[in-house]
Each structure stands twice: as structure tokens, then as C-alpha cells.
Amino acid sequence: MKKTLIFSATVAMTFSLLSFKPADKKPWDAPAKDASTANPVKNSPESIAAGKDLFQKKCASCHGKTGLGDGTKAAELKTEPGNFSKADFQKQSDGSLFYKISEGRDDMPSFKKKIEDKNEIWNVVNFVRSLKK
């Protein structure tokens, strides 16, 4: 009887853990000052191409080649890398995207020292804008 009770409790706990869904991801809002910063780099084919090249080198392993959040390292992350083609991502300001790339949070590393030329980060912002549906 004791073994049956322990087995039943173990099975119940396992199923409850498997069905557990983490709480909604915590919001990530850029400070108002940063969110309102205008993109100084013109959104041009050249900027998008430069941003795409940098994105492929620095971001695609987590975010995927087309920003769908399906990179080769995505499954290893504690936080979902997001889908850049979705409206909720695309509605963010350029300044917010620049801030998030620069500062990072949790699994998302800071790139302000890894990409020291701010215009290159703005090129990445222009590239991810091209990923909308």
C-alpha cells in the first residue's frame, strides 16, 4: 500500500510538473528616454544588408536566420528569443530595439561593447524591421 501511494504521488507530481507553464514572460520596456530616441541611420538597402550581415554573425544562433526565434541555441535558453516578424515585436520603437540590443537582459547579452559602432547596431535595427510579416 505504501509503495502504491508513493508511486501515485510521484506520477501526480511528474504530470503536474510537465504541465506547468511558466508565468507570462516579464515585460521588457526600454526607459522612455531611450525608447524615444530616433534612429539616425536611414533605413536603406545598404543599411539593411549591413544589419543582416551583423545579425547573421551575432544574433542568428539564438534568434534564427530570419528572426523567428528558432536559432540553433534557442532551445538552450531560459527565455524565449521571440519572433521578430510578429506585430507585438514590430510595434516597438527603433529606440527600444536599440536599447535592448545594447543593454541586454537575462539570456540576451549586452552588445554595447561587442558592437562598439552604434551605427552598426542601428543597421541591425533596420534589418529586423525588414522581417515583419
pLDDT tens per residue across span 11-55: 444 444 443 434 446 789 999 999 999 999 999 999 999 999 999
Of 75, 84, 73, 76, whose CA–CA distance to 133 is shortest?
Answer: 84
Q: Is residue 37 part of a domain?
A: yes
Do residues 109 and 36 make contact, with C-beta atoms less than 8 angstroms apart?
Answer: no
How many residues appear in the chain? Answer: 133
Of 73, 133, 129, 79, whose CA–CA distance to 104 is shortest?
Answer: 79
Please tell me the distance from the alpha carbon of residue 81 to that of residue 85, in angstroms, as a whole number: 12
Q: Looking only at Cα atoms, what is the longest distance across the chain?
A: 73
Please tell me the distance from the alpha carbon of residue 8 to that of residue 73, in angstroms, as a whole number: 36
Domain span at residue 65?
28-129
Q: What's the mean pLDDT in 96-116? A: 95
pLDDT number for residue 87 = 96
pLDDT number for residue 19 = 39
Q: For the chain, what percent of residues have pLDDT higher than 70?
A: 81
Residue 77 identity: L
Q: For the chain, what percent of residues have pLDDT higher than 90?
A: 77
Distances (CA, A) of 27 to 18, 23, 84: 25, 11, 16
Q: Is residue 106 part of a domain?
A: yes
Q: Is residue 15 part of a domain?
A: no
Q: What's the mean pLDDT in 76-97? A: 95
Q: Is residue 105 part of a domain?
A: yes
Provide the CATH number for the domain around residue 90.
1.10.760.10
Do residues 85 and 132 make contact, with C-beta atoms less than 8 angstroms apart?
Answer: yes
Q: Which residue has the higher pLDDT, 96 or 21?
A: 96
Q: Which residue has the higher pLDDT, 128 or 20?
A: 128
Q: What's the mean pLDDT in 78-104? A: 96
Tally of structural domains, the chain: 1
Please tell me the distance from the alpha carbon of residue 112 to that of residue 116, in angstroms, as a whole number: 6
Q: Is residue 85 part of a domain?
A: yes
Q: What's the mean pLDDT in 68-78? A: 95
Q: Is residue 8 part of a domain?
A: no
Q: Is residue 20 part of a domain?
A: no
Q: Is residue 78 part of a domain?
A: yes
